């Protein structure tokens, strides 16, 4: 399994109504390749089965999305996630995959 496939496997553990970050996915893979995680999310051929819209920046910013930031926000709000000024409250919505052993 290559790095991208491992990223998708980790991302599939993030429950609906929660988000994670590129950094958290990298941590779950014992890596510091945060940008490589971002590249994997951008190339995700399995969306929406592998929900890359649930991955945001470590500072809480929604960040980019292949089909546009507005669409990403729409998908996240549909899952019940509150977004204010393009930011998400990490204390409320963050899911840490590495704490749930992949």
Residue 52: active-site member: yes
Active-site annotation holder among 37, 50, 52, 62: 52
Rounded CA gap, 72 and 97, in Å? Answer: 21
Active site residues: 52
């Amino acid at each position: 399994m290559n790095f991208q496939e491992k990223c998708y496997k980790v991302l599939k553990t993030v429950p609906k109504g929660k988000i994670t970050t590129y950094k958290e996915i990298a941590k779950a893979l014992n890596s510091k390749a945060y940008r490589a995680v971002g590249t994997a999310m951008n190339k995700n051929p399995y969306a929406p089965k592998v929900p890359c819209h649930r991955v945001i920046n470590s500072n809480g910013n929604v960040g980019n999305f292949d089909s546009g930031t507005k669409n990403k926000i729409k998908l996240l709000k549909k899952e019940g996630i509150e977004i204010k000024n393009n930011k998400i409250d990490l204390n409320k919505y963050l899911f840490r995959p590495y704490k749930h052993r992949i």
